[in-house]
Amino acid sequence: MEAGPIVSRVVSGGQTGADRAALDAAVHLGLPYGGWCPAGGRAEDLPDPPGLLRRYPCLVETPPAPASTRTRWNVRDSDATLVLRLDSSARSPGTQLTVDIASELGRPVLVAYATDLAGVVRWLGSFGGGIVLNVAGPRESEDPGLYDAAYRTLCPALLAAPLVEPD
């Protein structure tokens, strides 16, 4: 019997960098996507309403609230969180908050280099398939080049099938 894709739905807050790469990979691959974004669909490069919502209509605005609300709800509504980055020294309070919330809520989290396709696929495969995956990471301005690297890794990783032992 053939296994289905590892990821059944991608969740992201839509910020530039890893978040946006995840949404674009999901759209490109025809995977369902969603997640909570800031009120007005605001992002670093799309500060004015409707912002992200014009490009990604399956995102849902949080009520006017701190950014931590969006982060918490995306972690809560997912089976696992993948944090991608290029520069391990890049300072990103939002990314650290994501890791902290995942730990607090008891959700699996992997912090990986955006170029580590084998590591990401191995980790995702450990779930057995069909998971709702939250993808996060620094903004593009905090970790330049992250979008491209994350997109190149996520496109094959999101569709990879887990290894299934023969009966």
| In CATH, 7-31+65-159 is 3.40.50.720 | no
Give the pLDDT score at 161: 57
140 close to 44: Cβ distance less than 8 angstroms: yes
Look at the pTM and tell me if it is higher than 0.85. yes
Cis peptide bond upstream of 50, omega within 30: yes
pLDDT digits (tens, 9 = 90+) for 41-57: 999 999 999 999 999 99
58 close to 10: Cβ distance less than 8 angstroms: no
Question: What are the domain boundaries of the chain?
Answer: 7-31+65-159
